[in-house]
Amino acid sequence: MKVNVDAHIRNATTAGLGVAVRDHQGRLIVTATKHIHHAPPEWAEAQAVRYGLGVARRLGFRRVCVESDSLNVIKAISCPSNGRSPIYSVYEDISVDRAYFDACTFSHTKRNGNTLAHFVARCNVGDGLETIRFPPFSESVETLVAL
């Protein structure tokens, strides 16, 4: 499964995390949106990766390729290091979570290759903190998938 992730800083108090999962034929399987407390952009992007892994795990996927448009986050995951900043706890969670999967890779994609996840990160979650959507998807989502 290809798991595209992105974060969107909404305002001074909240950010949105977006996940779009496609199968090996490029068909959209699920999207997920979660709201979190405001975080610096790189930290929010790292949380989007962690959230994407969590969604994939909850749905029982065993082989995933996670794509993000945050080059710094992908580099940090690929070359782990330690630090005292709170972002390192997120990187540690990602390291632990990836062990669940039979295969788990991380790659960088340009912003235009991550448009769907970016759109999903901006979606409203209603009264809750999270919304997971299955087919059929809205026309706007289907249009982005086709692109």
Residue-level pLDDT at 128: 78
CB 53 within 8 A of CB 64: yes
Instruction: Copy the structure tokens of residue 6.
Output: 């992105």
Residue type at 19? V
What pLDDT, on a 0 to 100 scale, did the predictor assign at position 84?
A: 79
pLDDT for res 102: 98
What is the phi-psi region of residue 60: left when phi exceeds 0, alpha when psi lies from -120 to 50, beta otherwise?
left
pLDDT at 129: 86
> Domains of the chain, with CATH numbers?
2-146 (3.30.420.10)
18, burial (CB in 10 Å: exposed 0-12, middle 13-18, buried 19+): buried
pLDDT of residue 146: 86
What string of pLDDT tens digits covers the 147 residues of the chain?
999 999 999 888 899 999 999 999 999 999 999 999 988 999 999 999 999 999 999 999 999 999 999 999 999 999 877 777 889 999 999 999 999 999 999 999 999 999 999 999 999 887 778 999 999 999 999 999 988
Q: What is the C-alpha to C-alpha distance for residues 125 and 123, in angstroms, rounded to an integer?
A: 6
pLDDT at position 110: 96
DSSP secondary structure of 29-61: EEEEEEEEE---HHHHHHHHHHHHHHHHHHTT-
